[in-house]
Each structure stands twice: as C-alpha cells, then as structure tokens.
Amino acid sequence: MFADDVLVFLEEPEESFTVLMTLLNNFGQLSGYKLNITKTQVMTLNYSASESLRDKYDLEWEASSLKYLAIILTKDTSKLYQANYDPGLHKNCRTKQERIQKNIRERRRRRVDKTGQVKKR
C-alpha cells in the first residue's frame, strides 16, 4: 500500500529530518504503507542540507518546485501564479464563469470515482 501527497515542514532539519525518516520507516513497518523514496522531493527554504544528510538519503534535494494536490508550489513565491495558471488553457473563454464551466466539463470527461481516484477501465 502507498500513501501519497504528504507535505512536511521541519524546523532544525539537520536533526529533525533523520527523526522524521525513522518515524516514517517505523510507521511503514507497522502499517504496511511504504515511503516511495524515488518520488520524494525536498524543497528547502533558507537552508542548504549538509553533505552528510544528502549522502545518507538519496533524494531530490534541490527541487525548485513541487506539485502538491495538483498545485505547483515554487521556491520563488513570485512564480506561484505563473506556475499554476496557464491562460492558454482557457484562451477561448471570455469570462471567469466560462473558464469554470470548461474546467468542469474537462473533469467530467475523466473517469474518476467519488474519492477522486481514476477508475480502472
């Protein structure tokens, strides 16, 4: 089993990151959930991870942006709007209401169950 879309903020990352990873591994052993290390990204703000921490955990340490619950979070906050809104997607819509209606139509075309999971065909 996998759990996804977890976002964690840490203080004192040199100490707390190792504790977090130990807790996640212990939780995984008890629950059957597993951390997919290949999809794990680290976006640091006002901090640079030490070489020892980088060597200990084979992660993507230099993420300048991450996608969380369909929202792109950028390290540079001035790029948040640009990263999440593409006017080209709705270039034929004149009003906000038209954009919303088009978005709803596009989502209805996808096969999604009530929990938001893509249905298997």
Show the domain range for 43.
Answer: 1-76
Q: What is the DSSP letter of 54?
A: H
The model carries a pTM of: 0.61
What is the number of structural domains in the chain?
A: 2
What's the whole-number mean pLDDT along residues 42-58? 89
State whether 68 and 114 are in the same domain: no
Tokens matching residue 4: 């996804």
What is the tens place of the pLDDT at every residue in 57-106? Answer: 888 888 899 888 878 899 998 988 888 876 665 566 677 777 778 778 87
Contact between 36 and 100 under an 8 Å Cβ cutoff? The reply is no
Inside any domain, residue 48: yes
Whether residue 45 lies inside any domain: the answer is yes
Is the same domain home to 92 and 114?
Answer: yes
Decide if 2 is inside a domain. yes
36 and 90 part of one domain:
no
Check whether residue 52 and residue 10 sit in a common domain. Answer: yes
CA distances from 3 to 11, 32, 35 (A): 23, 10, 8
Q: Give the model confidence (pLDDT) of 7-21 as tens digits.
A: 899 999 999 999 999
In a domain, 81, yes or no: no
